[in-house]
Amino acid sequence: MGVVFALARNDLEEQITTQLAKEMSEEIDRQFIWNCLAEGGWTKVVLPTLGSREQSVDIKLWIEECCKDEVLQSGREFLFKNSKDATIFILRWYQ
């Protein structure tokens, strides 16, 4: 029984380690891409908070309706291709 438990534990630890490594890799890639886009003229905006779930949905709907160009989002961070979209976003949502 002890050997089976040890094998299962090792397998679980390996799965967790693999998942964490994948998430870290994806976050590093995202940060690299976002930095390249920002250097290329995109505008980064970081909200202090997303507020409630309803406000998060409102923000996404507002972006779809009001922004002229592409917008990327990761949590509280937004990256706007169009600086005018970013400015209007800040005026509307930054609190």
Quote the CA–CA distance of 7 and 87 in Å, as a whole number. Answer: 55
Least confident of 1-5, 6-10, 64-68, 80-84: 1-5
- Radius of gyration, alpha carbons of the chain: 19
Nearest to 85 by CA among 72, 65, 66: 66
pTM: 0.78
What torsion, rounded to 10 degrees, do the Cα atoms 48, 43, 81, 35 define? -100
Q: Average pLDDT, stretch 5-31?
A: 83
Residue with tokens 């970081």: 46
Give the DSSP letter of residue 68: S
Confidence of residue 76 (pLDDT cuts 50, 70, 90): very high
Contact between 80 and 71 (Cβ < 8 Å) = yes
Q: Do residues 90 and 45 lie in contact, with contact meaning Cβ atoms separated by under 8 Å?
A: yes
